[in-house]
Structure formats: C-alpha cells, structure tokens
A = this chain, B = another copy of it.
Amino acid sequence: MFRTMSAELPHATPGSPVRLQGWVHRRRELATVSFLVVRDRTGLAQVVVKDGADVPPEETTVEVVGLATANPQAPGGIEVTDPVITALTEPAATPPVELWRPTMNASLPTLLDHAPVTWRHPAQRAKWELAAASLRGFRGTLDAAGFTEIQTPKFVASATESGANVFQVDYFGRPAYLAQSPQFYKQQMVGVFERVYEVGPVFRAEPHDTVRHLAEYVSLDAELGFIEDHRDVLRVLREVLAGMVAAIHEYAAPAVALTGARVPVVPEEIPVIHFRDALALVGAAADELDLAPEHERALGAWALTEHGSDFLAVEGYPMAKRPFYTHPWSRQARPTEEDRWSNSFDLLFRGLELVTGGQRLHRPSAYDEAIRARGEDPADYASYLQAFEHGMPPHGGFAIGLERWTARLVEAANVREVTLFPRDLHRLTP
C-alpha cells in the first residue's frame, strides 16, 4: 500500500485504507476517546486510538495503517480510525522541549544545543523552509538571466587574499587559509562566463560575540560583466530579491503562515540615496566614514515613509572604508574630488545591512595602483591579477548573507535562530 502523506489525507475517500508514516507528534487522552497525532513532512494527521491501545512515546517514528474516516472536527475533515500502529524504531527519549506545543518555550542555548531535535518543531522548521525557498528563487532568477553557477575553492594560499579574521588550516604541513568570500574567484570567472553566481559557505574568524555574526555563514554571491556602473548591479539585485520573494510565496506559503514571516514587497525600483546625503539626513557629521546602526535604522524608517519601501540602497560609500578592488565614483580618466566616494552600495532591508555590492576595478593599472596605495606588493596578488592583465570587462556584483535575510523575514533577534547548526567563538557543536 502506498504511503499517504498527512496533507493528502483530507482528499482520501472515506472508508478507504490509508498508510501513514511519521513521528508521534502528540498523544492525547480525552475522557471518551484517545488520539495520536502523526507528523510527517507535509503536516499533521489525527488518528483515533482504541482504549488501552499502546501508543509509543512522542517522537518515536511509526507506521499507521487504518481507515480514512470523515469527521468534521478532524483537521481537514478526515481522520484515521481502526489503526494498526507499528513503531519503526525503539521508544523515543523524551524531547528536551515539548515539540507538540504550538510555541516552543525554550531558551536560545537549549534550541541550539538540541538542534537535531528542536528543528523538528513545525514553526522552527518553517524558518529554514523560507531559507530553502529563497535559495531556489536566487538561483532561478540568475539562471534565467544567463548566469552560470560556479563552485570555487575554499582553501586559499594567502591571508592577504582573504584579509583579516581569517582561519588558518594545516594544509599538508604548510599553512593555508579558508576563503572569507568567493570574491576573487567570482571576478576571475566573469572573464570566462561573464555572469556567475555561487551559493556556499564563507568563513570569518570573527572575534566578536554579536547577534549578527557567525564564524561560518552561507553567502549568495553574484558577479556580472559589461556593466555601466554599480546601478546595473543594483538592478540585477532587485530582480534577485523579487525572485526570492516570489519563490517564498510559491514554495513556502505554509511556512510563511506558520512563522508569521513579514515577506516584503520588492519595489520595481529600489530607492537609492548617496552616502553623503544619508549622513546629512540622519544628522551625522559630514566626515563620517561609515553608518552607525542607529543611522541605518533611521534610514530604513525614512525609506518606508518616503518611498514606501522596505529596501534602501546607500551608494557612494567612502573609498577609504571599501576593499582595494572597489571602483571609485568618477568614471573620468583622471581622479577628481568625487573619487573619495565609491561605485559601491549597501542595501538596507528594514534598516539593517543585508547586501554589499558595487562595481570593481577592471584595468590592470588600476589594480597595481590601488594595491601599492595600501602599501602592499602587487606580486602577492599575482594569481588574481592574471585575469585583469589578460582582459576583463567593467564588472561588479554583490553578496547576500542568507542567515541575515531569513532573520529579517521572521524578525529573529539573533541570526543563530535561523541557522541550522551555528558556528561562533564559543559554539562548535552539535
């Protein structure tokens, strides 16, 4: 007999035999009747249990063969009666939290210490379903726009390539480092495919214990060639976000309902403000080089009021705070006063930084100059600079942090709440 998923049960013909498989979600003994609620990947099903029948404890996996029976009070109008219940494993140990309660009443450390079990809670699991649907939307949008998926190495030869806060590995007896981003490699691959994306782990030896930083997170990277400037990058980013939102609605509607996620509307055009104007707007000093969190929040509120948008791009961040490969503001042959600004942006989502992006340098002479200006030796970047010496187009790209995106959707205070197995300064298990 084929398996009936709990979501299909409401469509079963009353009186027909059905076979459920899943977890004992809950046992309920009422005065006149006892129920077993079975949980599978599609939802919950109600089974009416005979008096005195032996039902295994919560979380034990079971198979239930019985009859589909109409009952207006059952979820979906159909329950299973006359069940034969077979345990598929030994009686499960009592879970660290009661997974059958609509809301889990557990501290963050409990959630994380028992992740293999606590993720089973329908409302918890739904958070990751939003993430998985987002990944699908990210890739689908870029596939349709002529991007090629790449997979680039996580082992890199030098710490300079990755910057500060880098993890060192014993690589066959010599040091190697874990890539902090696929930045160098995605740029090189623009020379091959013009348009590339990668979804994968990045590693940051982040010594600060904050609600927004992890030692390992999932980065959604894209990079494209033959652009005019960073505004072209922002237009692609807009399409990608719209695709992620559409995928959430298409593939994760039940998860939206379960989590109460506030899925944004992505405006046709994301409003843009120059960094200089952003400083003025929030009343910060004109020589500030970065936006403080309270400034970002104020800008987010402004974007919502002024443009009705959950998103705001702040362009023109000071070159002094951007990586050496960042393209300056001016497209003139000789530098101008405007070149203290960059062709880069941060995208704020509800007042928090979600994405960093922008145009990169593409002329080999510009790289040579930029690296020397930082007191470094271009020879240390030889393998990266190959691509530019052999001809690269104007290009740019962006990176979205998956956990930050999901955290904002469900308004989680801490990115750890939406990370399957977070890694940080203190946590390396489970």
**Chain A positions near chain B (C-beta within 8 angstroms):** 3, 21, 23-24, 40-42, 59-61, 88-90, 92-93, 95, 114-117, 119-120, 125, 128-129, 131-132, 135-136, 139, 143, 146, 148-157, 167-172, 176, 178, 185, 188-189, 191-195, 199-201, 203, 205, 207, 215-216, 218, 225-226, 251, 362-365, 383-384, 386-394, 402, 420-423, 425, 428-430
On whether A423 and B153 interact (CB within 8 A), knowing A201-B201, A362-B89, A363-B90, the answer reads yes
Asked if A150 contacts B420 (CB within 8 A), the reply is yes
Q: How far is the CA of A48 from the CA of B19 in the complex (A)?
A: 70
Asked if A390 contacts B59 (CB within 8 A), the reply is yes
Asked if A154 contacts B151 (CB within 8 A), the reply is no
Nearest 7 pairs between A and B by C-beta? A383-B430, A92-B391, A59-B391, A116-B188, A116-B387, A41-B194, A61-B393
5 CB < 8 A contacts A-B: A24-B391, A119-B192, A128-B192, A139-B139, A155-B203
Q: How far is the CA of A116 from the CA of B382 in the complex (A)?
A: 12
On whether A61 and B93 interact (CB within 8 A), knowing A149-B136, A154-B216, A157-B428, the answer reads no
Asked if B201 contacts A151 (CB within 8 A), the reply is yes
Report chain B residues within 8 Å CB of A207: 172
Question: Within the complex, what minimum Cβ distance (angstroms) separates A281 from chain B?
Answer: 35
- Residue of A146, A148, A425 with highest tally of chain B CB at under 10 A: A148
Q: How far is the CA of A207 from the CA of B171 in the complex (A)?
A: 11
Question: Within the complex, what minimum Cβ distance (angstroms) separates A123 from chain B?
Answer: 12
Report chain B residues within 8 Å CB of A120: 191-192
Report chain B residues within 8 Å CB of A90: 363-365
Q: How far is the CA of A90 from the CA of B115 in the complex (A)?
A: 53
Chain B residue, CB-CB nearest to A5: B146
Question: Within the complex, what minimum Cβ distance (angstroms) separates A99 from chain B?
Answer: 9
Q: How far is the CA of A251 from the CA of B143 in the complex (A)?
A: 10
On whether A136 and B143 interact (CB within 8 A), knowing A90-B363, A205-B172, A392-B61, the answer reads yes
Report chain B residues within 8 Å CB of A152: 420-421
